[in-house]
């Protein structure tokens, strides 16, 4: 089944002419990224040489995808937009609210009961506005998109930071907040700063224990968690053509961990094979006439330093498996050095749980390669030492893997097959352990490993690796085990070595499935009523945020000065809080409860200057709000790193936080703050962070002359009567300033 084939055909018909126009204007060869971006300029946007990393540009994406946790707030905003139907093909995917606890069937049944109100809401609103709905159990959003919607040369946005997964099929796919999704669904242009482009040249070919996952794990170590900010990572070179489509998707998926806007591979035979295998031969048939446009121009590949902002080369033939972590995805360790690191750092050496799945590594190929390791160990009478958990990526993958005996291999060694959902990757793991706070180590095939992210335990050392390496370490139960060199002792006392992984990129019998889990919306939804109970604890009608009062912000108290890493998990935790994603008031009780207070090194403990007592962060914000006060948040580098969740911006806005002042922002979060009418400011001199004192009253001056490119002043009035005045920068353009003045982008769109 091919979704939206007419839209795809129309794009391909216009693609050559659009690319030609861009080349004539820019007077140079183009990268693949530039070809797709220029082909998707909004209709009123002129074709010109936009400056990378500087110019804001309006685009017209082809489609929108939303996962259930973020879709709630996106659809609540859509209901306030005045639209009757979405302007572009859009989908909702129910994958985040299913807790991994006992098994797929039991957990799915529980989710359908506990989340019925939310699922019904998402289903009804989807039907009303013409949005495709994927039921709980259908699969993880990015795997489902790859199997059904991603297409070479297209452009999409998704309300999840790992939307770039679709780049594995040559699509510009970008993670955004719900307000951005509403813009596109409402037929508005979508704004993005023209990204820089990092070229990654792949040479050689993978072999042995090395996998596609190891490409991005190595690259994360090179770029760090913010090295790709405001940039697209474009892969090229003969090595790129040797990787499977799902392997490329894995690499693009985890590009989010280096802050990249998105990542992309060129169209090739592997792309065509995957499209055909997933019943989309019609796309391959129409793509043949334009396939030369779906890769960088030859001059770009031959002289990459001339056309990319940075070039990195990775030789796949020399690549060894990597393990990244703990607590950050860019702590990259080749397997040959990892045992030494474990012992030097004192990480818990016993590997207690191995988890395979998530949107990053849950394809048929991933499952088959990991299963080959398990099968080999069983044939050699080697027992599995650690707990084993598997989350297939989609019902199509699960059904096919079960049919082909892959899941049986896991079950034979005691693995638990969980639902086709995110589960443990996003804190939806009900882990049973005798001491939920003790130090321990787990290894996952996921993408993120921030503290508390998987099981809520700050002492769980989570490491990220390929599915095949996860399988090997789970069998060994030892972080220091290197399957390339080490042996295991079997039931007979013999020393045996595990074979190298083998697997199939695509199932030999083709994919099979009985029920995809998709519900097509009705053709006319005007008569559909959306009802939300006034006393609901899960859903709440959104009220417009207040417009700017036209004045500078004067002497507002500091709410928290956050120390160190402050990701969206710190600002708005997932896990058990996911149930409140449709209720802004309730979920605001988790605002910044994971952030470390720079003045006492504690979480969720900040000083109330009015009483001298220490309170929870959201409680203090509510106390200030009740007294008619706002407040200010101060933080360090890459604030808002991680998920696209706009709740991390909406909660401070709701609790009357006036501004976030930091050393630097993660891209998506900065945009989310702007969309909600917040001030997102950065220290011109990063050392000024140190001048902020615990009981400061903070003024933001110059707002009456708020202009693009013009810095603002911040006055820190200290308790002892002294003051510091510092300079802060911003990246607001004129439209974004209008959002601020209107109270939010949605207010501005509606003309409120």
Catalytic residues: 95-96, 160, 448, 643, 645
CA 330 to CA 324: how far, in whole Å?
A: 6
The crossing angle, in degrees rounded to 10, of helices 667-675 and 734-742 is 50
CA 91 to CA 130: how far, in whole Å?
A: 9
- Reduced to 3 states, what is the DSSP secondary structure of residue 534? coil
Residue 697 pairs with which residues in a beta bridge?
557, 717
Q: Contact 707/686 with Cβ under 8 angstroms?
A: no
Structure tokens belonging to residue 318: 């020399």
Cα separations in angstroms, 28 against 56, 113, 303, 435, 440: 21, 57, 12, 61, 54
Cα separations in angstroms, 104 against 113, 136, 389, 518, 525: 14, 11, 11, 18, 33
Q: Contact 252/170 with Cβ under 8 angstroms?
A: no
What phi, psi does 332 have (nearest 5°)?
A: -95, 130
CA 632 to CA 557: how far, in whole Å?
A: 6
The crossing angle, in degrees rounded to 10, of helices 5-26 and 32-39 is 110
Structure tokens belonging to residue 607: 């000083």
Cα separations in angstroms, 157 against 82, 125, 140, 161, 645: 21, 19, 16, 10, 14
CA 223 to CA 260: how far, in whole Å?
A: 10
Q: What contacts 535, CB < 8 A, 6 or more positions away?
A: none
- Reduced to 3 states, what is the DSSP secondary structure of residue 312? strand
């Amino acid at each position: 089944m091919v979704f939206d084939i007419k839209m795809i055909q129309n794009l391909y018909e216009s693609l050559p002419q659009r690319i030609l126009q861009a080349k004539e204007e820019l007077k140079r060869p183009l990268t693949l990224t530039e070809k797709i971006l220029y082909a998707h300029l909004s209709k009123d946007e002129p074709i010109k040489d936009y400056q990378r990393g500087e110019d804001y540009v309006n685009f017209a994406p082809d489609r929108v995808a939303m996962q259930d946790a973020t879709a709630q707030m996106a659809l609540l905003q859509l209901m306030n937009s005045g639209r009757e139907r979405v302007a572009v093909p859009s989908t909702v995917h129910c994958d985040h609210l299913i807790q991994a606890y006992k098994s797929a069937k039991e957990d799915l049944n529980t989710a359908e009961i506990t989340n019925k109100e939310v699922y019904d809401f998402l289903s009804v609103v989807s039907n009303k506005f013409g949005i495709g709905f994927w039921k709980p159990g259908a699969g993880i959003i990015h795997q489902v998109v790859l199997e059904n919607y991603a297409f070479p040369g297209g452009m999409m946005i998704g309300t999840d930071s790992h939307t770039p997964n679709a780049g594995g099929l040559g699509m510009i796919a970008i993670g955004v907040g719900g307000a951005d999704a509403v813009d596109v669904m409402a037929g508005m242009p979508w704004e993005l700063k023209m990204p820089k482009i990092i070229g990654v040249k792949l040479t050689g070919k993978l072999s042995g224990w090395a996998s596609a996952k190891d490409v991005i794990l190595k690259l994360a170590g090179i770029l760090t968690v913010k090295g790709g900010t405001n940039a697209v990572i474009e892969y090229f070179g003969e090595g790129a053509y040797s990787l499977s489509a799902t392997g490329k998707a894995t690499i693009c998926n985890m590009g989010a961990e280096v802050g990249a806007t998105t990542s992309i591979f060129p169209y090739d035979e592997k792309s065509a094979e995957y499209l055909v295998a997933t019943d989309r031969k019609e796309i391959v048939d129409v793509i043949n006439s334009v396939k030369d446009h779906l890769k960088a121009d030859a001059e770009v590949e031959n002289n990459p330093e001339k056309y990319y902002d940075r070039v990195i080369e990775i030789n796949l033939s020399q690549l060894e498996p990597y393990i990244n972590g703990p607590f950050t995805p860019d702590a990259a360790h080749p397997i040959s050095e990892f045992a030494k690191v474990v012992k030097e750092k004192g990480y818990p050496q016993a590997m207690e749980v191995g988890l395979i799945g998530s949107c990053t590594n849950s394809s048929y190929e991933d499952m088959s390669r990991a299963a080959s390791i398990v099968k080999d160990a069983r044939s050699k009478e080697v027992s599995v030492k650690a707990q084993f958990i598997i989350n297939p990526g989609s019902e199509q993958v699960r059904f096919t893997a079960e049919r082909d005996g892959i899941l049986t291999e896991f079950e034979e060694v005691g693995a638990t097959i969980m639902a086709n959902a995110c589960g443990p990757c996003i804190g939806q793991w009900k882990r049973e352990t005798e001491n939920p706070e003790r130090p321990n180590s787990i290894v996952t095939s996921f993408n993120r490993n921030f503290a508390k992210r998987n099981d809520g335990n700050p002492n769980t050392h989570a490491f990220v690796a390929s599915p095949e390496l996860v399988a090997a370490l789970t069998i060994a139960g030892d972080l220091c085990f290197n399957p390339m060199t080490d042996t295991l002792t079997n039931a007979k006392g013999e020393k045996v070595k595990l074979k190298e992984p083998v697997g199939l990129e695509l199932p030999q019998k083709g994919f099979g499935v009985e029920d995809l889990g998709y519900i097509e919306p009705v053709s006319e939804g005007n008569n559909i009523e959306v009802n939300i109970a006034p006393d609901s604890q899960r859903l709440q009608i959104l009220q417009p945020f207040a417009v700017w009062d036209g004045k500078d912000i004067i002497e507002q108290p500091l709410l928290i000065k956050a120390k160190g890493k402050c990701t969206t998990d710190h600002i708005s935790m997932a896990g058990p809080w996911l149930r409140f994603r449709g209720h802004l008031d309730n979920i605001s009780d988790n605002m910044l409860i994971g952030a470390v207070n720079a003045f006492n090194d504690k979480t969720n403990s900040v000083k109330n200057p009015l009483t001298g007592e220490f309170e929870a962060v959201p409680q203090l914000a509510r106390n200030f709000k009740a007294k008619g006060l706002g407040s200010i948040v101060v933080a360090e580098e890459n604030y808002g790193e991680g998920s696209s969740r706009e709740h991390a911006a909406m909660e401070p806005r709701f609790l009357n936080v006036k501004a976030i002042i930091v050393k630097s922002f993660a891209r998506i979060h900065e945009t989310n703050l702007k969309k909600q009418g917040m001030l997102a400011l950065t220290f011109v001199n990063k050392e000024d962070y140190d001048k902020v004192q615990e009981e400061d009253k903070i003024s933001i001056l110059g707002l009456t002359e708020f202009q693009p490119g013009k810095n603002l002043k911040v006055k820190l009035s200290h308790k002892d009567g002294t003051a510091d005045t510092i300079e802060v920068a911003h990246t607001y353009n004129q439209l974004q300033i209008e959002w601020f003045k209107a109270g939010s982008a949605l207010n501005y769109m509606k003309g409120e």
